[in-house]
Structure 1
């Protein structure tokens, strides 16, 4: 039976030290919120000394010490260790000088010559005691029931603060892991995109060599087959690019840079229309502000919206895109309007879903990932994106971004 009890004591000792390590509180500097509690405890109980004590393996550390100018003592001088070993919710000794356990204690026989001790064990959520909130006097004192209850209530506040501290450390740790994960994912996305596109470019180059070398030998059917191969290689390349954009949209992009929307959008439109010299297109920009956001994130968004506005057009139509901006006290609001084929009302709720396509590849090529990436990026910027449209009457996307990131 004795061995069982010793083992239980050892287990509690290990758990107590583990809890103290999780709180990361030992040897920390004084903090006002803990000092406020000891000040209040001393005032309520009319006591000259109040302590928040954490019992380590070889010492007791005073996180807050009201009325006494020491921050730790050896475990041999600890009355608090007896309090937490008692298993009781409240521990008091009205005269330490008459108690055989404490009469030779150096804090009793020497300065500050303590006499009465009243302590409430501090317990973790797992009901493991690891310290105390106590008040100490230099003369005999009796506490009223009301004072005892007040001391126990204050002890709960100490535990609450320590648990909150632990959760904040955990949150910081999770945040660091998420940031590292985001960096790793970004590196993976770029490497994957490069490694996937490289063989596609090689295939495309060799196909062109074969075509130029043997075009005189091919009949119309051969040329048609090669056209299908070229088309699918280009589609695969575009899918890789879209997957890369989708990977980027899950990353946290710094949103604290100045972004001139007029310059950004003009550059995107020019690059996209130069790539397709056969298509006629017009861009109108109205009152676009300089905003504080993420340049790379907004580049991905407007690349997708402008590309869609240029692509989803009736045959022979001149694409007209109008992008306007306005601001409220708390938001920037940007609208992207086009004169394209529009979207049927029944299909509007689905357009932001991944791989959701409303047209066949033969009608309009694409992966169905662009608007998914746009929505996720805008949400990461604490904003919203919405759409209104009518079939054959064009589409309007509305982006709302907060002026200050939360």
Structure 2
């Protein structure tokens, strides 16, 4: 196990972290919502807001895990903060030299997959991460990676807001203790707008920042009623009820868009703090306005980013509609009319024309299969598997019936071991078996019938369903990308296909929280498998 080295600016980073006063604080809804959103977007059982302290990582918010903290020496996030501008993704921790013997890979957590977006302050210090964890190896889509970045920026905004809020409350408590000196204290320069309003709701004092925002001098303000400053309509409908609550002794806080004469419209966080005398009687109000316009704009940017994600989902659905209907119609026309020409007029055509017609027919069939595969692949995004305890032998029989013609033509010998019950979505698992067996029939030695064996085998992380053949096999240097979209090892002249089938199998495995496997030797055959966990993500354990 390799513990992460310390960042070059570790002392400054720790000072920045401690300045927020967030360590060991109670759970807060806003932070909990962020980890819930991260878990939902990335489809992982565990999500965390992890902050890296001197000797530990502490979780400000968490879902799917009960521990409050771990040692820094075993923390994945301690590695992630070393590259503040990147999302660190570990697809399979067992295959990573830094983590393969990490104790987090064992026990109840059983960590396999990790992705963490550093929480980076404006001055470049990475305090920790928004991270997601899974017990199964997997990959992270670019959209999910970008979402983690957005959520990590939101955490920084929340930390800054909490820091400002605590500072604001501390300032207000100090002012309450020094109520008798409030008019003098207001003369001190501050970024906040401060005014003192008496029980008659008239301004008795304002600070320089207040005057700067409103673009006026004291002579135009002191003694003026609040109603005359804000206007009768705004006063009666919005301000008067709040002032009455504050004059009754309640600390009132609210956010409001204020249209300043000198600064224009600004979102402000406004506090009306009662000023009481020794007997507890309210003698006036301290009005403090804090400019949160920049923070509000950042929150709006986040909302717009999330809206853009939703829009891309809708566009994808429309694309699926085009694939399923608009594109399929001309393809079907090509196939139908080429079939009619072949059936009714083939003998009337010259030899070159017959050859060209064959190209058209095969091209239409290939395009139809590609549309089927693309539609299936795209429709899996956001799909929740309908998991049941399924009869594996019955499913194998169904797929063999669908491939009956290809099996007969090739003279294939297909055998099975006793097949265990699998917990999966039957419709999706049928697609996997169809592709695995279909490939075994296709990529065979031409001088002998294919031999195919189907079995189920228990493995560490679930149950594996595999299809083994004695066919052409796959070169070792091409095995790593065999499940990528449109990946082909042979020309269409030799073997037909769009290169989408195995991508579809991998996506189906991911939807089940599982994985695909491959063992192959060039010239001797291949063994393709899908590992299904005991419990599918989103399913009650």
Once the two structures are superposed, residues 114-160 of structure 1 have per-residue CA deviations (whole angstroms, 9 ceiling, x without a partner) of 7999999999xxx973121425114269xxxxxxxxx99xx799986
Q: What is the alpha-carbon distance in structure 2 between the residues aligned to residue 383 and residue 254 of structure 1?
A: 15
Matched residue, 1:78: none
5+ long unaligned stretches in structure 1: 1-33, 50-82, 142-150
Matched residue, 1:357: 488
5+ long unaligned stretches in structure 2: 1-160, 177-185, 206-220, 228-239, 258-263, 279-287
Structure 1 residues 186, 117: CA separation in 2 closer, same or farther (over 3 Å shift)? Answer: closer
Is the 1:238–1:366 contact (alpha carbons within 8 Å) kept by the matching residues of 2?
yes
The answer as to 2:526 corresponding to 1:391 is no
Question: Which of 301, 320, 323 is the equivalent residue of 1:189?
Answer: 323
What do you get for the CA RMSD once the two structures are aligned?
Answer: 4.8
Q: What is the alpha-carbon distance in structure 1 between the residues aligned to residue 468 and residue 223 of structure 2?
A: 83
Q: What is the alpha-carbon distance in structure 1 between the residues aligned to residue 463 and residue 243 of structure 2?
A: 71
Once the two structures are superposed, residues 217-269 of structure 1 have per-residue CA deviations (whole angstroms, 9 ceiling, x without a partner) of x9xx94x9746743652353134312431243133252230253624443122
Matched residue, 2:225: 104
Once the two structures are superposed, residues 327-376 of structure 1 have per-residue CA deviations (whole angstroms, 9 ceiling, x without a partner) of 656x5543332222211223323433454433344543333333344345
1:119-134 map, 5 Å: 129-134=266-271
Matched residue, 1:146: none
Matched residue, 1:136: 273
Q: What is the alpha-carbon distance in structure 2 between the residues aligned to residue 109 and residue 179 of structure 1?
A: 46
Matched residue, 1:342: 473
Q: What is the alpha-carbon distance in structure 2 between the residues aligned to residue 88 and residue 47 of structure 1?
A: 15
Is the 2:251–2:271 contact (alpha carbons within 8 Å) kept by the matching residues of 1?
yes
Q: What is the alpha-carbon distance in structure 2 between the residues aligned to residue 101 and residue 380 of structure 1?
A: 67
Structure 1 residues 193, 303: CA separation in 2 closer, same or farther (over 3 Å shift)? Answer: farther
SS of the equivalent of 1:388 reads strand
SS of the equivalent of 1:342 reads coil
Q: What is the alpha-carbon distance in structure 1 between the residues aligned to residue 303 and residue 341 of structure 2?
A: 56
Q: What is the alpha-carbon distance in structure 1 between the residues aligned to residue 373 and residue 496 of structure 2?
A: 17
Matched residue, 2:70: none
Q: What is the alpha-carbon distance in structure 1 between the residues aligned to residue 265 and residue 419 of structure 2?
A: 63
Shift of 1:180: 1.9
More helix, by proportion: 1
Structure 1 residues 40, 227: CA separation in 2 closer, same or farther (over 3 Å shift)? Answer: same
Is the 1:95–1:140 contact (alpha carbons within 8 Å) kept by the matching residues of 2?
no
Matched residue, 2:341: 206
What is the TM-score with the length of structure 2 in the denominator?
0.46
What is the TM-score with the length of structure 1 in the denominator?
0.59
SS of the equivalent of 2:408 reads coil
1:64-79 map, 5 Å: none
Give the length in aligned residue pairs: 312
The answer as to 2:313 corresponding to 1:176 is no
Q: What is the alpha-carbon distance in structure 2 between the residues aligned to residue 195 and residue 325 of structure 1?
A: 45
Shift of 1:181: 1.9
Shift of 1:308: 0.3
Matched residue, 1:18: none
The answer as to 2:537 corresponding to 1:405 is yes
Higher mean C-alpha displacement, 38-47 vs 273-282: 38-47
Higher mean C-alpha displacement, 114-123 vs 252-261: 114-123
Matched residue, 2:373: 245
SS of the equivalent of 1:204 reads helix
SS of the equivalent of 1:182 reads helix
Higher relative contact order structure (alpha carbons within 8 Å, sequence separation ≥ 6):
1
SS of the equivalent of 1:185 reads helix
Q: What is the alpha-carbon distance in structure 2 between the residues aligned to residue 384 and residue 372 of structure 1?
A: 12
Matched residue, 1:90: 192
Matched residue, 1:70: none
Is the 1:200–1:237 contact (alpha carbons within 8 Å) kept by the matching residues of 2?
yes
Structure 1 residues 95, 166: CA separation in 2 closer, same or farther (over 3 Å shift)? Answer: closer
Is the 2:406–2:441 contact (alpha carbons within 8 Å) kept by the matching residues of 1?
no
Matched residue, 2:454: 322
Higher Cα Rg: structure 1 or 2? 1
Is the 1:122–1:130 contact (alpha carbons within 8 Å) kept by the matching residues of 2?
yes
Is the 1:354–1:372 contact (alpha carbons within 8 Å) kept by the matching residues of 2?
yes
